[in-house]
Amino acid sequence: MDFPEIEFANCLENAQKAMAEIGLDALLLTTEADVRYFSGFRTLFWESPTRPWFLVVPRRGKPIAVIPEIGAALMRSTWLDDVRTWSSPAALDDGVSLLADALQPYAHVGLPMGRETSLRMPLADFQDLRERLRHHEIVDATALVRALRMVKSEREVATIREICAIASNAFAQASRLFQTGQPLSDAFRAFKIELLSRGAEDVPYLVGGARQGGYADVISPPSQTLLQAGDVLMLDTGATLRGYFCDFDRNFAFGHASSDVKSAHNILWRATEAGLATARPGATAAAVFHAMSAVIGQGCGDVGRYGHGLGMQLTEPPSLIGWDETVLQEGMVITLEPSMTLSQGRMLVHEEKIVIRDGAPELLSQRTPSELPVLIA
């Protein structure tokens, strides 16, 4: 168990209070993060899409796991008492009847169906379940689960702080890890190894780019192109520790940088300062967006927003965007991720990670310098 039982008991208590308020008898959860949030069940086995996994959170009592036998030993090592299993993959009924039985006593079931959610079970099986429970009401529980998971406990924050420190220390090795003449893919590999060596458990996410005076997009895998003087290299990492993500990036110039790039770097740094000055309990996600946007003075282009929540997932609600009226609360962990479009299809992205506190936010990533760092070319 990554956390003591009290952690999960608190999550459950908060969930059951919220369920009572809106008259839900149970939650049905199917995704890795939602199941882990209420059970502590952590495994990379979710990488296999073959088997569905279910957690039923009833209005009273501990969650009920309805899972393939292959997960029984691990699930029984969590704080749960009621672990129901079937031999999966099954020829005809891959857990559906067992799940229907578990949900039978609960007439009003909440299921995350909204923004940023998905149903991790075959759609045909869900239709079968719906038919078996045709007198049940199944309603959208996105808002409820989202509200709970957005506010991190101090144990969650401590884990995220630890993985952020590992990534900050890895980025501090840039001048040793990254050189001109090195293929970009080798730079990525060297950085992943550095993260692991410093204690990251996994590096599920590392994207970036390197081009003269900026980069063209921020989601591509690395090319074999050799780094050269005048390149701006960006790496954006989502490394994990005990199943919690860091997510922030760093930019480096090789040898020299144009005044355009230096200026953009400084604008983005100041936009982040504006975000830091605005991110307070009671402010909205939109307000933080507008504060950063005012410094940048252009739309947020292809990226679509200037930051987001995160935790057990690389990106979580809220979005720092003009329409997201989520009110920030103490304990929310978010990124500030301003970006700028430069000329000729180039862009620059900054990213820092913070936790909302009573007063100024706590920086979880080590603040990037206001001047673009230049590595020897």
**Residues 198-217, interacting with a second copy (CB under 8 A):** 201-207, 216-217
Query: Per CB under 8 A, does 74 bind a second copy?
Result: yes
Q: Please state whether beta strands 108-111 and 137-140 pair in parallel, antiparallel, or not at all (unpaired).
A: parallel
Residue placing its CB nearer to a second copy in the complex, 48 or 343: 48
Q: Which of 14, 16, 84, 88 binds a second copy (CB under 8 A)?
A: 88
Residues 295, 116, 332, 40, CA torsion sign: negative
CA angle 134, 69, 314 (to 5 degrees): 80
Residue placing its CB nearer to a second copy in the complex, 44 or 158: 44
CA angle 30, 33, 34 (to 5 degrees): 50
Interface stretch with a second copy, choices 21-29, 152-160, 174-182, 194-202 (CB under 8 A): 194-202
Q: Could you give the CA distance from residue 371 to residue 350 in angstroms, rounded to a whole number?
A: 12
Q: Which of 94, 231, 249, 352 binds a second copy (CB under 8 A)?
A: 94
Residue placing its CB nearer to a second copy in the complex, 144 or 303: 303
Query: Per CB under 8 A, does 50 bind a second copy?
Result: yes
SS3 173: coil
Segment 216 to 235, residues that bind a second copy, using CB under 8 A: 216-221
Chain centroid to CA 322: how far? 20
Q: Could you give the CA distance from residue 307 to residue 321 in angstroms, rounded to a whole number?
A: 8
Q: Could you give the CA distance from residue 25 to residue 10 in angstroms, rounded to a whole number?
A: 18
Query: Per CB under 8 A, does 370 bind a second copy?
Result: no
102 HSE (CA, 13 A, CB side): 26
Query: Per CB under 8 A, does 119 bind a second copy?
Result: yes
Query: Per CB under 8 A, does 332 bind a second copy?
Result: no
Bond into 338 cis (ω within 30): no
Residue placing its CB nearer to a second copy in the complex, 104 or 197: 197
Taking the complex as a whole, the smallest distance from the CB of residue 321 to a second copy amounts, in Å, to 7
Query: Per CB under 8 A, does 114 bind a second copy?
Result: yes
Residues in Cβ contact with 20 at an 8 Å cutoff, skipping those fewer than 6 apart: 59
Taking the complex as a whole, the smallest distance from the CB of residue 119 to a second copy amounts, in Å, to 5
Query: Per CB under 8 A, does 72 bind a second copy?
Result: yes
Q: Which x/- pattern over 126-155 shows residues binding a second copy (rule: CB under 8 A)?
A: xx------------x-x-------------
CB atoms within 10 A of CB 329: 12
Segment 291 to 320, residues that bind a second copy, using CB under 8 A: 301-305, 308, 313-315, 319
